[in-house]
Amino acid sequence: MNYVLLGYRVMPPWEPGSDLPSRVVTCSDHLVNAQPDDDAWFTTPVPATHLLAVGVAEADFDAPLLSRLTEHPDRLLLTGRTPWPPAIRPLGHEVIGVEDVGFHSLLCYEGVVTNLATAGAHLNQHGLISRHEDARRAADAAGEAWDVPDLPWLPVVLGRPDSANRPNGRSGPPRPAFAASTRPAVGRRRPVGGAWP
């Protein structure tokens, strides 16, 4: 899979305290605060502990959602087809929706693990969907049937510099995928209109 880089953010991991992994990688400013502020994007890597690269699959680069992102000068700074840097290791995919006040994530809503599993998408140890095709299927399902805001949903790929992905920069095999749970999620917003189907 070939990806296009959209930009860099400094995003500490989200610690949901629920059935999700204990530390979730996210680009959603509804879940964590970007540093130094929610409008901060960078065109090149900056020295920061939680530097996060954000990109999309080449097939999604012309999606209407990206046009909405680039309408705002404080949003994605890279408007050309900048290839995904080889030094950035993809961690997985997050399904996002965009409104004027920031990024939504499917992880903002209760029941997401069960709904993702129903769509054939499972979360890995980073709280992300490993395969793009699974993330695309989840984005399509969310827009059609799930009780989430009426926004276009798009899978983005998230990554960090390779040395930041292992303790002390060590390499090794990835940990097993995070297993879906049937218990209700705790500590996140319940969508307006009631419970998830």
Q: Is 192 exposed, middle or buried (0-12, 13-18, 19+ CB in 10 A)?
A: exposed
Rounded mean pLDDT, 126-146: 85
| Inter-CA distances, 69 with 31, 44, 54, 74, 185, Å | 18, 18, 13, 9, 29
Rounded mean pLDDT, 17-26: 87
Rounded to an integer, what distance in angstroms lies between the CA atom of residue 114 and that of residue 24? Answer: 17
Which of 104, 92, 109 lies closest to 156, judged by CA?
92
Report angle CA 153, 40, 134 to the nearest 5 degrees. 25
Tokens of 100: 């004027």
Q: What pLDDT, in 10s, does the model give residues 30-89?
A: 899 989 887 788 888 889 999 999 998 988 876 656 655 655 545 555 556 789 999 999
User: Does a cis peptide bond (omega within 30 degrees of 0) precede residue 155?
Assistant: no
Tokens of 120: 């054939």
Q: What are the start-end ranges of the E strands in the chain?
A: 3-10, 51-57, 82-83, 88-99, 102-105, 153-161
127 or 73, greater pLDDT: 127
139 has pLDDT over 90: no
Across the chain, what does the average pLDDT equal? Answer: 74
pLDDT in the model for residue 75: 53
pLDDT in the model for residue 121: 83
pLDDT in the model for residue 115: 76
pLDDT in the model for residue 186: 34
Q: Are 21 and 126 in contact (CB under 8 A)?
A: yes
pLDDT in the model for residue 144: 65
Q: What pLDDT, in 10s, does the model give residues 113-123?
A: 777 777 778 89
Rounded to an integer, what distance in angstroms lies between the CA atom of residue 187 and that of residue 190? Answer: 9
108 or 151, greater pLDDT: 108
Q: Fill in the DSSP letter of residue 164.
A: G
Q: Are 94 and 129 in contact (CB under 8 A)?
A: yes
